[in-house]
Structure 1
């Protein structure tokens, strides 16, 4: 029997079976049961309908991880409107581009970020503007709670089909204008099923929102956590002390965090005298975005006592397509090395690493190929970008989404990303993985964060250069000299891989999800050259 897969069924499931249970712990301590959460969602749906929002219209949500974000998302989707979450770290110009590109009809914006929308009100097609604190926001904004109170709970729910677009998630734009990733009810539902399975989500889980909800719909957790009847603990940002307090006071059992966030928590743990990092339940944590150093994994599991999983994917893929949690392969000797890998494909997902001819690379953990993937959780298309869509699904292997990540595969089929195609360093004809160099630098106590890019070299075409955030926090007073770091890499790497150029910096440019924006560093380094790659 075939029944349609519809994302609003996740909330209906929770309302039916967990109505009296805590659905959301808000950022200021307010608590909502699933019955109360559902009623607020109904009221927002009714309010949007009164303002002319219909099936297929786009509703933007610019909000940190608060209950308003969840209510606005489900309120829009119940009408069949397309939920369009917005990265809250962008500029007004970015929002003008996205709101115009998507043709967004209504926006809910948190009071802290509404000022970024205010300058562009006259330049976008949006007509309805709602916020949660009108007293501190300039302009003609409607108040969210007042809107809910006046709306009632009745609205005409349209018939929904699983192949209809229900969300547009804009990429982080690390290589140009953001692209709107279109996801259907079906892709979102299948992905949420996978997240529920591989993250072992159950109805007694308490999930802490350290991962931005806007990022691929919080990796699908706005659906998975809701559908399982678990509890959302909301945040307005990631501050280590607040995260630890929430974990212990709310007995958090599950969270997701980029490696940079994990490193913040490790620093807090060490400077605050090794405080308790769990409540009654053991914490399960998932990381992604970039490979965590082995030292990070070791600290999280051995010092915190958490269980860490490492997943891999992209906005276009849901994101989950591989995971490193292969329990039958883990041993005491290989545990941290294995968990650093991106892992193996999840159920129902065809993940391959192929050469230029589309042939699978051998499982020798040395030969590089591009990761390509197909599965039910992969995006439908890019919004209004047919050429870019065709390009994404063609190239080495027709019909597969091409990730642009270069990887090797070991004898067990476990993938390890060695580089992005654009980030590979070609020095004197040799391919050098920037990730390998970064991992080496992370092993030095003086390194707090690092990014390696190709720098121009008259002799080699390109040579590795590292931008290093010193563990001391001060680029003017680093614990060791650049020459000492260079010597450290010489002791651990082949001679042609030695990082001979090191620049200490205060911080690295990052996306909202913790990815280092290497293109900014690369453009700065090559600004006096007539091309961005060397002839190595």
Structure 2
């Protein structure tokens, strides 16, 4: 054997490759010829091998091919393990908008056998602190724009300047992993040997007032990604514009779906309607996901124009109206209405376009498509049941709760066995959404049994808002319900009884209480208005009747959600 150090190194690498495989190849996690654990990181390794020169990421002037995205991701995985001492099962938090680093984290953190905890950038420091503590996160990545959210956190911090320059702390961290990424690659990273292992922790507003951590598994992410791929008809030529923030249920698993077919991820730091139209035209976008509230603003933007090719718009959060569907079609945008929850890995139900729908009027078509529809092919069927778990009649009249089971149901709530047991009562996941089922099997949501408001696609716990308002020294009693909103679908509205015998200078009005809330919680959670009332509706035993307030707000509406 040659004594030349270079030749010695080459010989050593050759021995390693013979033992564990080539750098681009993922080492098998279990030694079985007929089984591989389902793991979405495999999608990236494959696409980088098959289509290394294909554009994977577009972020302003920056472009990364699949070879480059793969290299950056693998380098981050090594940096997590060797520089930051991340171990299997550790929770790694990230607070960032839709930028390349956020996308890379969705692959690198699982590749390091850790659990990604993507946190909403719209929260306030106290809310972020709660999630970091409850999740047991060991480190936090944070975009520079949002670093004030973690200024008091004792956790180690990696600041992302989102420049792509060598001076960016995030890029400096990647530099420490490039050597092994270029020599060992995937073959030096042990992948999970249990597809039921936790891989993602997403916090969603809970009915207890505090957000609950929804646990996803490798298997669930993998199958949800395939479900999206089928439903959105993603392929090699797909160019997806990421509007839904990746901290929302890992943006419905689309980072994995799109990577599986080597599509192009177009990242967007913030909602800017002028920029969205420019990007859709310049990058020849084919797909996007959004809530109707965003799409309404988009189609009424002065830059709206007929697009060169049809854009498939997966619409969630609420049903698109006839007016919105028609307006979208003017510009070459086709709406596909979906429904799901964080607990179901995002969308799991779709309102399918049926033969004959093309003959319907715009209003009748919208009415049909406003129904939530049927489950994805990768999910078990759902049910609509009464309080005794009996299926409701398929008559479009008898209401019941939507319950799910199967591959696309969360593993459970993190460190909350009581809430998990309650959600899984009877062997089904209870959504809290009230619906009817039509003769054709389509479901249509009528109301929400949980104390949750969905405003512009954001989940808001009415109990959390009530807790905030009740902290004001002038407040005696409070109730918060959803009220219709033309822009956001629905927003919180508060009803407050003030304490008796307040001094004149201690009496407050609704506007003062709204301001009080804005100083203590994320803006999207704050009530659009607060009304001072003499008393709240109650039963003879003193139990609050929030349904009376809801009926008052939704009078004249066919449904109690919007």
Shorter-normalised TM-score: what interval?
0.7 to 0.9
SS of equivalent residue, structure 2 residue 381? strand
**3-state DSSP class of the match of 2:300?**
helix
Q: Distance in 2 between matches of 1:329 and 1:68?
A: 45
Alignment correspondent of 1:363? 394
CA shift in 2, pair 1:524/1:179, >3 Å? farther
How is 1:297-316 mapped onto 2 (pairs within 5 angstroms)?
Answer: 297-301=325-329, 303-316=330-343
Q: How does 1:423-442 map to 2 (within 5 A)?
A: none
Post-superposition offset of 1:521? 6.3
What is the alpha-carbon distance in structure 2 between the residues aligned to residue 265 and residue 407 of structure 1? 30
Give 1:476's aligned residue: none
Equivalent residue, structure 1, for 2:27: none
Conserved 8 A contact 1:209-1:235: yes
Q: 2:122 aligns with which of 89, 95, 102?
A: 89
Deviation for aligned residue 1:321? 2.0
The equivalences for 1:391-406 within 5 A come to 391-394=422-425, 398-406=426-434
User: Aligned pair in 2 of structure 1 residues 360, 153: CA closer, same or farther (>3 Å)?
Assistant: farther
The residue that corresponds to 1:480 in the other structure is none
- 1:342 matches 2:342: no
The aligned counterpart of 1:12 is 45
Note the C-alpha offset of 1:366: 1.1
Deviations 1:117-157 (Å, cap 9, x if unpaired)? 112x23xxx3x31112399xxxxx98101111233242741
Q: CA deviation at 1:277?
A: 4.1
Equivalent position of 1:132 in the other structure: 160
1:186: how far off? Answer: 0.4
1:414-453 correspondence runs (5 A): 414-422=442-450
Aligned to 1:326, which of 353, 356, 363?
353
- 1:520–1:421: structure 2 CA closer, same or farther, 3 Å change rule? farther
Cα pair 1:162 1:186 within 8 Å, conserved:
yes
Contact 1:526–1:532 under 8 Å retained in 2: no
SS of equivalent to 2:216:
strand
Asked if 1:251 corresponds to 2:284, the answer is yes
CA distance in 2, matches of 1:197, 1:399: 27
In structure 2, do the counterparts of structure 1 residues 113 and 68 end up closer, same or farther at CA, with 3 Å as the change threshold? same
Query: In structure 2, the residue corresponding to 1:320 is in which secondary structure?
Result: strand
Alignment match, 2:232: 199
- Work out whether residues 364 and 411 of structure 1, in 8 Å CA contact, stay in contact via their aligned partners in 2: yes
- Which residue pairs with 1:150 in the alignment? 176
Alpha-carbon contact 2:316-2:347 (below 8 Å) kept: no
2:503 maps to which residue?
none
Q: String of CA shifts for 1:447-469, please: whole Å, max 9, x gaps.
A: xxxx9x9xxxxxxxx9x995556
Which of 29, 41, 51 aligns to 2:61? It is: 29
Choose from 387, 397, 406 the match for 1:375. 406
Q: Please, what TM-score do these two structures have when normalized by structure 2? A: 0.73
- 1:345 deviates by 1.6
Distance in 2, Cα, partners of 1:203 & 1:527: 62
* 8 A contact 2:112–2:191 mirrored in 1: no
> 1:72–1:108: 8 Å Cα contact kept in structure 2?
no
Distance 1:172 1:249, change over 3 A: farther
Secondary structure of 2:131's aligned partner: helix
Partners of 1:523 and 1:58 in 2: CA distance: 38
1:77 counterpart = 2:110: yes
RMSD (Å), alpha carbons? 3.3
Q: Equivalents in 2 of 1:171, 1:255: separation in Å?
A: 22
**Highest Rg: 1 or 2?**
2
Give the Cα–Cα distance (whole angstroms) in 2 for the partners of residues 411 and 80 of structure 1.
46
Contact 2:71 2:178 in 1 (8 A): no
Cα distance in 2 for residues equivalent to 1:219 and 1:212: 9
- Asked if residue 385 in structure 1 is aligned to residue 413 in structure 2, the reply is no
SS at match of 1:365: coil
Instruction: Please list the CA deviations of residues 258-307 of structure 1 after superposition, one character each: whole Å capped at 9, or x if unmatched.
Output: 01101111221xxx2x74242x3210001111222232222212x22211
Whole-angstrom distance in 2 between the partners of 1:114 and 1:22: 30
Q: CA deviation at 1:331?
A: 3.8
Q: Quick one: distance in 1 between partners of 2:533 and 2:282?
A: 49
- Aligned counterpart, 1:352: 383
**Equivalents in 1 of 2:411, 2:289: separation in Å?**
25
Inter-partner Cα distance in structure 2 for 1:328 and 1:2 = 40
Q: Is the 8 A contact 1:109 1:131 kept in 2?
A: yes
SS at match of 2:275: helix
In 2, distance between residues paired with 1:465 and 1:378? 27
Deviation at 1:3, TM superposition (A): 2.5
Change in Cα spacing, 1:524 to 1:373, as seen in structure 2 (3 Å) is farther
1:41-86 deviation line (CA, Å, top 9, x unaligned)? 1111111112211111111111100001011221211111101111
Distance 1:180 1:99 in 2: 11
- Structure 2 residue runs of 5 or longer lacking an equivalent are 1-33, 182-187, 463-478, 489-510, 537-541, 549-562
> What residue is the counterpart of 1:208 in the other structure?
241
Aligned partners of 2:487 and 2:445: how far apart in 1? 25
